[in-house]
Structure 1
Amino acid sequence: MSGHSQTAVCVLGAGLIGGSVLRAAAAAGYDVWGYNRSEAGAEAARADDFDVTSAIEPVLRRAAETDALIVVGVPMPALDTILSDVKSFAPDCALTDVVSVKAPVAAAVRRHELGGRYVGGHPMAGTSESGWAASTPDLFQRAAWAVSVDPGTHAGAWERVARLALDCGSVVVPVLSEEHDRAVARISHLPHVFAEALAIQGGGGGPLALGLAAGSFRDGTRVAATAPDLVRAICDPNSAALLEVLEDALRVLEGARDTLRSGGTIGQLADAGHDARVDFDDNERWAITEIRPGDQDWLARLADAGRRGGVIESLD
């Protein structure tokens, strides 16, 4: 195991994503421990031999003593409380998060005066399950892990966050927070809205419709199985970007409705949707190899590379 893999990592929130970071980081050789608000969740993690407690102060004091990288894995509604604790007990540690929006988290971090060594993060991985029991060390294998390259980002902290993502099995996508939030509104948050709407329509057909439902209904409604509180915590903080893309999508649907109403065919929508899905299937990542944290204009250059589909597969 390479030397950088022995870095201390402190995870705050041991749910699906935070718990999976704990497991993956431990498997990669990191010295890792964590906090979970619910004692039942902390107890479940301890039963699996992970050092997780529901007492935040000692967890953060240990992080301060060891210069740990702190990973915030709580939902947006709990963020301010957690950041207040970080400010009190470990204000000088490098700090990242795995929350599904980036600009609102960055704003909260600045409010708590923790921006100096903060680097936003968002692993694009998950299931409709939640809690420690759903966590797994291989959740992030070949996943895209967005790592913010906002102006002023500290090169050393950025490299630690990127290395953690790589060591957890991901590829790193460098991205500006605002651009991240607009992108995930399209490919993550809007699908949640559509899944809920599809599930409601299926249910409206009663037992006959549900009895006939098969693969397309199951796949289209998969994320509607996510706990409603979690969906709210994911989508509501990104409401402006979600509203914009929802309006785009409604225009597409209204166009299809108007065509059908006038006796036309769904074919134009089907053609455009098929082409867009082929674009997704054919999309290929390319490796960013020439830009290093701390190089001249490294943040802007990484942002541009990420915008063009580039990913970081190694920092060595």
Structure 2
Amino acid sequence: MTGHSKAAVCVLGAGLIGGSVLRAATAAGYEAWGFNRSEAGVRAARADDFDVLGDIETVLRRAAKQDALIVVGVPMPAVDRILSDVKIFAPECALTDVVSVKAPVAAAVHAHELGATYVGGHPMAGTSESGWAATTPDLFQRAAWAVSVDPGVPRDTWERVTRLALDCGSVVVPVLSEEHDRAVARISHLPHVLAEALAIAGANGGPLALGLAAGSFRDGTRVAGTAADLVRAICEPNAAALLEVLDDTLRVLNDARASLHSGGTIAQLAEAGHDARVDYEDNERFAITDIRPGDPDWRERLADAGRSGGVIESL
């Protein structure tokens, strides 16, 4: 995108996602700086010439002075503490986040009385690696970046968050927080749980099984390489939605087990799974071009469009 002024960006948390936002925003021409609680992370970022400090008061006072967009990039268990600092040092700043769940973050934001300037976000990108060393400015290229259109979200912040996501290389999916959380339980959080279970099954087969393991096992267990505390931080805050989809999946597996036991076949599972994979491969996004922030019912209309597969490619 071009043709708009790029306001400053302050990223709180310089791990894989937050650090990659810092890199991508800087590469896109934003003045950007950040905070990281780990001193090792601060040193690593500064060694790469990024303006990252371990003193959150200094970082947030600068954000307040420069009217920066604050991006909360810490795992959900650390969000409450970060928001406490934002409330003290930069309560008027536009605020967003890149946390993997939306409704719990929104609830925490409102509990700290910061909702008037908040719009939730979640870039659907990542790797099994973590920390500053894993960051890259290219992480979000053509990724879907969910941006909240919950009732009452402020237009000005919404536009700033959407512009940042687009400038980082993403397309924006407008979402309601609750619907986002139910969706990511299926396509992000359940895969983490299944990858862990599959990795355990392979390891329980001993050296022979692991020695024979090839592409399907490697690909199916990729996200099990994520640090266990990060997996918990991703999945556990979305427990209700994850429990629902786990129940659905266990029914599917139990039906397949019963079919294999009684008739020696998994035909129904294999055929339905293949069809579902084809649905995923054939799924096409469409560009939302006829809804502008500030139009009558713009939030509701964007939510409808996002629900139907629409994405925002420009403002």
Q: Give the TM-score of the pair, scaled to structure 1.
A: 0.99
1:9-55 deviation line (CA, Å, top 9, x unaligned): 00000000000000000000000000000111011001001000000
Within a 5 Å distance, the mapping from 1:109-188 to structure 2 comes to: 109-188=109-188
Secondary structure, aligned partner of 1:153: coil
- For 1:184 and 1:16, how far apart are their aligned partners in 2? 19
Amino acid at match of 1:53: L
CA distance in 2, matches of 1:60, 1:147: 23
* 1:6 partner SS: coil
1:251 corresponds in structure 2 to 251
Specify the code of the residue in structure 2 equivalent to 1:84: S
Shift of 1:2: 3.8
What does residue 231 of structure 1 align with?
231
Q: Contact 1:5–1:167 (CA<8 Å) still a contact in 2?
A: no
Match of 1:180, as an amino acid? H
2:82 matches 1:82: yes
Compute the displacement of 1:263 (Å). Answer: 2.5
Q: How does 1:3-18 map to 2 (within 5 A)?
A: 4-18=4-18
Q: Which residue of 2 aligns with 1:310?
A: 310
Distance in 2 of aligned mates of 1:214 and 1:18: 33
Per the alignment, residue 52 of structure 2 pairs with 52
For residue 23 of structure 1, what is the aligned residue in structure 2? Answer: 23
Report the equivalent of 1:99.
99
Per-residue deviation, 1:293: 1.0
CA positional deviation for 1:267: 1.1
Are 2:284 and 1:284 equivalent residues in the alignment? yes
Residues 50-95 of structure 1 show CA distances to partners (whole Å, capped at 9, x for unaligned) of 0000000010000000100000000011111100000000000000
1:200-219 → structure 2 map (5 Å cutoff): 200-219=200-219
Per the alignment, residue 263 of structure 1 pairs with 263
Q: Deviations over 1:255-286 (max 9, x none)?
A: 00001111231111000000000000000010
CA, structure 1 residues 256+296, in 2 after alignment: closer, same or farther (shift >3 Å)? Answer: same
**Which whole-Å CA distance do the structure 1 matches of 2:252 and 2:6 have between them?**
50
Q: Retained in 2: the 8 A contact 1:5–1:28?
A: no
Question: CA separation in 2, counterparts of 1:3 and 1:254?
Answer: 55
Q: Offset of 1:4 from its aligned partner?
A: 3.0
Taking only aligned residues, the RMSD between alpha carbons, in angstroms, comes to 0.8
SS at match of 1:262: helix
Corresponding residue number in structure 2 for 1:196: 196
User: Partner amino acid for 1:232?
Assistant: R
Distance apart, 1:294 and its partner CA: 1.1
**Are 1:68 and 2:71 counterparts?**
no
Gapped regions of structure 2 (runs ≥ 5): none
Instruction: After superposition, give the CA deviation of every residue in 1:142-185 in whole Å (9 maximum; x if it has no partner).
Output: 00000000000000100000000000000000000000000000
How far apart are the structure 2 equivalents of 1:245 and 1:82?
30
Runs (4+) of structure 1 moved beyond 6 Å? none
Structure 1 CA distance, aligned partners of 2:75 and 2:24? 20
In structure 1, what is the Cα distance between the partners aligned to 2:182 and 2:2?
Answer: 36
The alignment's TM-score, normalised by the length of structure 2, stands at 0.99
Distance across 2 between alignment mates of 1:164 and 1:58:
23
Hey, what does 2:294 align to over in structure 1? 294
Deviations 1:203-226 (A, max 9, x none): 010000000000000000000000
Question: 2 CA distance for matches of 1:5 and 1:104?
Answer: 32
CA distance in 2, matches of 1:5, 1:255: 56
Q: Is the Cα–Cα contact under 8 Å of residues 5 and 29 in structure 1 kept in the other structure?
A: no
Gaps of 5+ in 1: none
Aligned amino acid, residue 141 of structure 2: Q
The residue identity in structure 2 corresponding to 1:149 is V
Amino acid at match of 1:142: R
Secondary structure of 2:128's counterpart equals coil
- Cα deviation for residue 5 of structure 1 reads 4.8
Distance 1:295 1:36 in 2: 38
Q: Percent of pairs identical after alignment? A: 83
CA distance in 2, matches of 1:164, 1:6: 8
